[in-house]
Amino acid sequence: MKCEERQDAIALLACGALEGVEREELLRHLDRGCPRCAGVRAESEATFAHLALALEPVAPPAHLRDALLERVQRVPRPALVPRAARSEPAAPRSAWARPLVAAALAAVLTGVALFVPTRRTVRALEAQIAGRDESLARLDARLRTLEQQQREAVETASFLGAATTAIYRLGPTGTQPGAEARVFMDPRLRRAQLVASNLASPGPGRTYELWFIEAGGRKIPAGTFDVDASGAGTLSAQIPADAAEIAVLAITDEPAGGSTEPTGQVHLAGNIQASS
Amino acid sequence: MTSKSASAAGAAGEDVELLAAIAAGDAGALSALYDRHAPALFALTLRILRDRPAAEEVVSDVFFELWRRADRYDSARGSATAYLIGLTRSRAIDRHRAGRSERAHVVASTSEPSSEALIGSTDPGATHDATLRGQVAAAVRGALGSLSPVQRRAVELAYFDGLSHSEVAAELGEPLGTVKSRIREGLMRLRDALLPIHESGALP
């Protein structure tokens, strides 16, 4: 059925006379949100309401007012949220122009006036937005991690590929015969990159620590690292500017957080001057 | 805007504020709204029910319902006055229908006084009421006066007596289709008669 053909039915609905399947069909159509028919309905209802305003007003007896107010006082009632306050501030309106204006708007703006969000839909949308915000924050954190990893990977690749980078092999000292490690060092950039494998877990409350040992014997802590389940661990270290020529690299196990001087067992070690 | 229309818009704005205050639990706002609208609503319930105690009860119940459920009013759907009238008419018609089943005759005969007796003369020139409500009443009377008696009767039977369109058809002894177009035609004439008032902005 076309909307033009619904005009009689809308007029009947607006004055309360529509019945049966015609009423059901029209209400279904209106529920689907036809802005044009909803606009006509609002206008028609407002127009018919004038029939009431045309009646000569009759003052109700005073006792009716008193009884009402007394009844109201007896009924405690929580504050309600008026629909008027839930949406945008109401535009200035006159009593009867409003439905007409709304109807005209509805017809012209194809439903803008009718799709004023209800409080429930606003809440649902807000919940959805909050959910999306959370997912976004998680994705954002993940993205930052990946970006950081990628920067490190690029840096490492360029570092490892640099002509000045030398590779030193650290061998097992007997505590862990299968363990091994390589250290990539660039004396110009004063950078070192450790890649260890087949190391056992250092045990609860302990960690591995890399040492730069100068030819003179001074032991410089280069940083701590942990190993994964497969026994692999990595560490990027900066060679201190005041460090003299480094002769030996060693890895010990230390209390978590590391030590300033080696206290644990040496598991891997390599002589730099010997290997280069 | 004339000062009259400005005050009219203000009054409509106040209605919305009163409904908001009622929703917030302000009993004073309820009595203010009652003082403003009860006479018109009482006239409506009297017209529908033709029974003074029942009409009083419905008016009281409507305001009590407003007190309990003022949050149901949605300003986006129409004016507060239209809402009050719609709610009152609906409750009065329900009451009327409940009582109707107890009566032998569904409605009084067509010789029953029509709108002329209820709202006075159908001559729009006869009313020179300076109030806004008077202007509206005059315009509605003028529109009703321009309808044929049977057309006017169809609109009144539906609006004030709560008859369904088939009941209106039976009452008037006319085919359904004719009744439908009569009511629509009545609506159009009412709307056209009210249009100049709406456009001037002078509204209750």
**Chain B contact set for A44 (CB, 8 A):** 187, 191
Q: Please state whether the predicted TM-score (pTM) of the whole model is above 0.90.
A: no
Q: Which chain A residues are closer than 8 Å to B78 by Cβ? A: 42, 45-46, 98-99, 102
Q: What is the pLDDT of residues B140-150, one digit of tens each?
A: 788 778 888 88
Grade residue A245 by pLDDT with cuts at 50, 70 and 90.
confident
Range of weakest confidence among A57-71, A141-155, B172-186: A141-155
Q: Does A122 touch chain B (CB under 8 A)?
A: no
- Residue B52, pLDDT above cutoff 70: yes
In angstroms, the separation between the Cα of residue B107 and the nearest Cα of chain A is 15
Cα→Cα distances A229→A209, A232, A262, Å: 18, 7, 25
Q: How far apart are CA B21 and CA B24, in angstroms?
A: 5
Give the residue with greater pLDDT, B86 vs B128.
B86
Q: Searching chain B, which residue's CA lies closest to the CA of residue A97?
A: B198
Identify which has the larger pLDDT, A72 or B100: A72
Test mutation, A72, A105, A115, A118, chain B, max B CBs within 10 A:
A72
What's the mean pLDDT when you consider all of chain A?
Answer: 80
B15 contacts chain A (CB < 8 A): yes
Has residue B197 got a pLDDT over 50?
yes
Residue B201 is predicted with a pLDDT of 45
| Tens-place pLDDT, residues B54-107 | 999 999 999 999 888 877 777 666 677 888 898 999 999 999 888 766 654 444
**Interface A:B, Cβ pairs < 8 A:** 245
Residue B63 CA neighbour count, 13 Å, CB half: 33
Q: How far is CA B122 from the centre of its chain?
A: 17
Beta bridge partners of residue A234, listed in sequence order: A195
pLDDT over 70 at B128, yes or no: no
Contact at 8 Å (CB) between B107 and B171?
Answer: yes
Distance, in angstroms, between A48 CA and closest chain B CA? 7
* Residue B72 burial by Cβ neighbours in a 10 Å radius (0-12, 13-18, 19+): middle
Q: Sheet containing A246-255: which strands, arranged edge to edge?
A: A219-225, A206-214, A246-255, A266-271, A166-172, A180-186, A191-197, A233-238
pLDDT (average), residues A204-221: 93
pLDDT value for B17: 83
Over residues A170-178, the mean pLDDT reads 90
Q: Which is higher by pLDDT, A110 or A136?
A: A136
| pLDDT at residue A91, as a whole number | 43
Which residues from chain B sit within 8 angstroms of residue A54, using beta carbons?
Answer: 115, 119, 136-137, 140-141, 144
In this prediction, what percent of chain A has a pLDDT beyond 70? 79
Q: Do B203 and A53 touch (CB under 8 A)?
A: no
pLDDT at residue A200 in the model: 93
Tell me if chain B has a CB within 8 Å of the CB of A84: yes
User: Are A96 and B194 within 8 A, CB to CB?
Assistant: yes
Beta bridge partners of residue A209, listed in sequence order = A224, A252
A89 CB near a chain B CB, below 8 Å?
no
Which chain A residues touch B19 with a CB distance below 8 Å? Answer: 82, 84
β-strands A206-214, A246-255: how paired? antiparallel
- CB within 8 Å: B183 and A81: no
